[in-house]
Amino acid sequence: MTSTDIPAGFEPLSRKSPLTEPWEPLYSKKTDKAVIIGLRLARPHTNGRGLIHGGLITALADNAMGYSCAQVTNWTTSFVTVSLSIDFVGSAEIGQWCSIESDVIKTGKTICFAQSLIKADGVVIARASGTFRVVPKPTQTATPPSPPRDR
């Protein structure tokens, strides 16, 4: 695989995870309101029939929606998944470009709602929606906890 196989605007995904390591290389493209994840489908991304695995689609949609919630909040907080729903409406094969394109529906103080369309060579193969809980990042200036008192 060469860099010419990757659509314009995509760069290697900078956020790494032990779950996604076997699926590398993964790519991302940031917009003001989303982080789009992309990959060129290869054998490690497939099921026993040589088609894209639903677990891969689900995990990457979860990542893309969570990253998109972070993107719209300028990465000032972290998010964890509360619920995730996915519908598979098509399939993809080795060699196709798969993109996970998310939209943030609404953010609040404690929750973020997002949705994704998962596409293979531009054709929708799945849709996902997720709800994410805000997890405030620890502050750099936080006071250390007091030592326990003797009774």
Residue ranges of domains in the chain, CATH in brackets: 18-136 (3.10.129.10)
Minimal CA–CA distance to 3: which of 38, 31, 51?
A: 38
Which residues are CB-neighbours of 97 under 8 A, at least 6 positions away? 5, 7, 38, 39, 40, 41, 120, 121
Q: Is the pLDDT of residue 142 over 60?
A: no
Q: How far is CA 5 from CA 12, 73, 83, 92, 118, in A?
A: 13, 31, 34, 16, 19
- Per-residue pLDDT tens for 104-113? 999 999 999 9
- Report pTM: 0.86
- Confidence at residue 67, expressed as pLDDT on a 0 to 100 scale: 96
- Per-residue pLDDT tens for 27-57? 999 999 999 999 999 999 999 999 999 999 9
Rounded to whole angstroms, the Cα distance separating 132 from 107 reads: 9
Least confident of 10-19, 52-61, 87-96, 114-123: 10-19
